[in-house]
């Protein structure tokens, strides 16, 4: 089927945008894809269906990667569903589109919880669980 047959990839923030495109590309290349999302189950299911239309397998998993227990559950679900994890694409992100002077402390905490803590704890979980030869890709943006 593809160059990634039998590989399992977790893509965080996969229900839209870059994460969606990444998940679909992995599906076209034969990988089994864990489509992570936070709020929009319908959009995540669309990604699952797109991956499956390529002949690959996928599962949508609701998890807020800003919360460590959700990160652990995301990895456990991938292992239970597909038998292991070969790659993690840390793509989940959030932006606040207002002047800095108007951003609240709670909003800043939410951004840092997701982007800094979420990425760190996904890396930590990946370090414990990735199969030999596994890969981690972190996607970031210059947007502020």
* pLDDT averaged over every residue in the chain: 93
Instruction: Please state, in angstroms and rounded to a whole number, the distance separating the CA atoms of residues 139 and 14.
Output: 12
Instruction: Please state, in angstroms and rounded to a whole number, the distance separating the CA atoms of residues 102 and 91.
Output: 26
| Tally of CB atoms within 10 A around 30 | 17
Residue 46 host element (H or E)? helix 41-53
Give me the mean pLDDT over the 122-131 stretch: 96
Tokens 């992100």 -> residue: 93
CATH 3.40.50.720 fits 8-138, yes or no: yes
pLDDT tens-digit map of 84-114: 999 999 999 888 888 989 999 999 888 888 8
Burial class from Cβ neighbours inside 10 Å (0-12, 13-18, 19+) for residue 44 reads buried
Q: Is 144 helix (H, G, I), strand (E, B) or coil?
A: coil
Give domain limits for the chain.
8-138
């Amino acid at each position: 089927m593809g160059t990634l047959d039998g590989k399992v990839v977790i893509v965080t923030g996969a229900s839209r945008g870059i994460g969606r495109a990444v998940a679909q590309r992995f599906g076209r290349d034969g990988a089994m894809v864990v489509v992570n999302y936070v709020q929009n189950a319908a959009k995540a299911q669309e990604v699952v269906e797109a991956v499956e239309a390529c002949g690959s397998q996928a599962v949508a998993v609701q998890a807020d990667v800003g919360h460590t227990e959700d990160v652990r559950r995301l990895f456990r679900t991938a292992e239970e569903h597909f038998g292991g994890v070969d790659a993690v694409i840390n793509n989940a992100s959030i932006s606040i589109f207002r002047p800095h002077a108007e951003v609240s402390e709670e909003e800043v905490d939410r951004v840092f919880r997701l982007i800094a803590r979420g990425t760190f704890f996904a890396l930590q979980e990946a370090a414990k669980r990735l199969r030999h030869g596994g890969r981690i890709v972190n996607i970031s943006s210059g947007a502020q």
